[in-house]
Structures are given as C-alpha cells and as structure tokens.
Amino acid sequence: MESKTIRFSIHILDGTTGEHAGGVPVELHRVGAHGGREFLSHCVTDTGGRAAVELPACTRLDVVIQSGARFAGNAPAAVTTQAVTLHVALPDGARGVHLPTVIAPNCSSLCWLEAGT
C-alpha cells in the first residue's frame, strides 16, 4: 500500500565552524510534472541543526534552505549565498527522506540522500 505522507528530515551543519546550524529556515515545495511548484511546508532547524515534518506523498521535492541570515555580517566574502535549493527526486512509495547538509557563505554540500521505503 502506497503511503499518503512522507517524513522529511534535515540536519544542517555550518561549514565555517563545524557546528550545528540552528535557526535556519527551510521551505518545502512539491514539484509537478511540468515543473510548477506548490508550497507544502516550512520548518526551522533546532539548536542541533535538525528539523522534521510530515508532508503529502510526492516524488519530486524542492528544498529551499534560507542560509543568508546565518552568515549576515560575519561572512568572509563580500558575496553571500542567500538560499540553497536542492532538487530531490524520490522513488515511488518512499515513506521518508533525510538530507544531511553542510552550508557556508558561498557554497553548500549534500552529504548523502537517504530515502526510506
């Protein structure tokens, strides 16, 4: 039986300090067959850099990490990335996805993508 919801979780680390990135807003959008986006949910990472929400089942998800405020005023470079968008494709029937991510003022890295079935 196909799940009607998926559990989304994220763990964000600050690449400049190696610390957990607490207080980072994350937006979640379902991506339709023709590329249109539908807002699903919003969460903010806790002091451990983690957040989790239940979402309607989907196979394409845009995860927008609003990283700019984290580095405002203390970034080592004049130009700071304000947001990072991860385009995620999930297998049919996935019940969850976890995204361990590292952010920095001018880059980001997705450590691995783990989709549970």
Look at the block and give the residue holding tokens 């196909």.
2
Count Cβ atoms within 10 A of the Cβ of residue 67 and give its class: 0-12 exposed, 13-18 middle, 19 or more buried.
Answer: buried
CA dihedral 47, 81, 53, 115 (to 10 degrees): -110
Count: domains in the chain = 1
Look at the block and give the residue holding tokens 């610390």.
19
What are the two backbone dihedrals, phi and then psi, of residue 41, each rounded to the nearest 5 degrees? -165, 170
| pLDDT in the model for residue 69 | 85
pTM, 2 dp: 0.86
| pLDDT in the model for residue 1 | 46
Cβ neighbours of residue 103 closer than 8 Å, sequence gap 6 or more: 12, 13, 14, 15, 21, 24, 65, 67, 70, 84
| pLDDT in the model for residue 61 | 93
Per-residue pLDDT of the chain (117 residues), as tens digits, is 455 999 999 999 999 899 999 999 999 999 998 889 999 999 999 999 999 999 998 889 999 999 888 887 765 666 667 888 999 988 888 888 899 999 988 778 877 666 664
- Planar angle of CA 8, 40, 83, nearest 5 degrees: 80
CATH of the domain at 83: 2.60.40.180
Closest CA to 102 of 7, 36, 12, 8: 12
Q: Which domain holds residue 16?
A: 5-116
| pLDDT in the model for residue 106 | 77
